[in-house]
Amino acid sequence: MTIAGLQKTTLLDFPGKVACTVFLRGCNFRCPFCQNSELLGAGEDEMSEDAFFSFLEKRRGILDGVCVSGGEPLVHADIAPFLRRIRTLGYAVKLDTNGAFPQTLQALTAEGLLDCVAMDIKNSPERYAKTAGTEVDLSAVRESAAFLLEGSIDYEFRTTVVKELHRAEDFLRIGEWLRGAKRYFLQTFRDGESVLRRGLTPCSDAEMRAFKKLLLPYIPNTLLRGEN
């Protein structure tokens, strides 16, 4: 497993848990707004699995869970044994995923290796490839979303909103697609040095509230990330 980084403590990434977040290198998407672009390919200063699991051993009784993020964790063929080893230490596991690997997602859930899944929804189906930065097997993304909507595992959907990529009608289409979802977060794009495409901008607070209002008839538990 290629571990690109570790956030040793987080109260935000795993709702209801004191957790750490481990970032795995590699992703099949190239989202222009990605803030973790340094994780997309080969890199330096990687953490060994032994060092990571030594950290988890020392934090037993202090941390409750591990958020496994990326990149896209499910690109790794050895993700299951990696999660089993985390589980053996008694930690709850949250997975961040783009939904492109539904069979793996379902298999990990069936094995009891996941407690919670956060799935990124890039955009309305019609504009998915442009927003993901590459060709996308939308049927796979739809299958992952449908699986989560069944409610066999705790989940949330989330969309990073970018002025140049998202329109009001996109959120109507997303609302129709994810109707009745348990939780759906809209989060504001944040620019930075590692973002893949320069020149992208966030939406205003008023625009974000307007998008939320469009979604509420479909997904009553639509929230803006960070709102009370």
DSSP E strands in the chain: the ranges are 3-10, 19-24, 65-69, 92-97, 116-120, 154-161, 184-188, 222-224
Which among 112, 95, 75 is positioned nearest to 19, based on CA atoms? 95
- pTM, two decimals, is 0.94
Task: Enumerate residues 6+ apart whose C-beta is below 8 A from 88.
Answer: none
The domain containing residue 76 runs over which residues?
A: 3-224
Contact 28, 134 (CB under 8 A): yes
Structure tokens at 222: 């639509």
Contact 203, 161 (CB under 8 A): yes
Q: What CATH number is given to the structural domain containing 7? A: 3.20.20.70
pLDDT at res. 221: 97
CA geometry: angle 176, 108, 55, nearest 5 deg: 115
Mean pLDDT by 10 residues, the chain (228 residues): 91 92 93 77 73 96 96 95 97 98 98 98 96 96 98 97 97 98 96 81 96 98 86
Number of domains making up the chain: 1
State the angle between helix axes of 205-215 and 168-177 in degrees (0 to 180), rounded to the nearest 10: 30
What size, in residues, is the chain? Answer: 228
